[in-house]
Amino acid sequence: MKLIVVLGAVIAVATAPALAQDVSTPAALSAPQTITLPINALVQVTPANEITSKEMKEGTTREFLVVNDVEYQGVVLIPRGSPVEAQVTWRTGKGIVGKSAKFELSFDWVRVHQASYKLRGMHRQEGRGNTAGALLGAAIITGKSATMTPGQIVNVFTAEPIMATKYR
């Protein structure tokens, strides 16, 4: 080390090379990693509101909600409560002689953070018949409407990969 006098002040100047400093920074420690939820991942959904066959038509849509977070490698890729859309693909009305109404739904997509991802899955809902009344000869007795209520769980599956970024 050299000592230099400048206007009466003593300044120390290092002559040895500086020691290497640690170059790891918080940004280097938290490098982003892309996580991909594979196709066919299970997603459990429930109706957002009661769905009934009474006023239903083929081609109309119904809203469902994701029941539980869908996690993969420690990252939530589909949060609980995400909206899901299903389309009515088939419907029959209730009939005489105890025949119940039925409908089928096809699940189209789930919305996650303003992006929509395709789903696959079908669900068939049937009303309860009234065959006992029909067997007794009461031809005016009809079956029940088909109804789904919030809390009823349907299993559907992802139809395309869903990606998210994980920070370590």
* Segment 121-132, tens digit of pLDDT: 999 999 875 544
For residues 100 and 124, which has the higher predicted lDDT (pLDDT)? 124
At 93 the pLDDT is: 80
Nearest to 84 by CA among 104, 101, 106, 100: 106
- Cα angle value 144/108/46 (rounded, 5°): 50
At 128 the pLDDT is: 72
Q: Is 92 helix (H, G, I), strand (E, B) or coil?
A: strand
- pLDDT tens sequence across 4-21: 555 555 555 555 554 455
Nearest to 72 by CA among 45, 44, 41: 41
- pLDDT tens sequence across 24-69: 555 555 688 999 999 999 999 999 999 998 888 999 999 999 999 9
* CATH topology classification for 35-162: Lipocalin (2.40.128)
Domain segments of the chain: what residues? 35-162
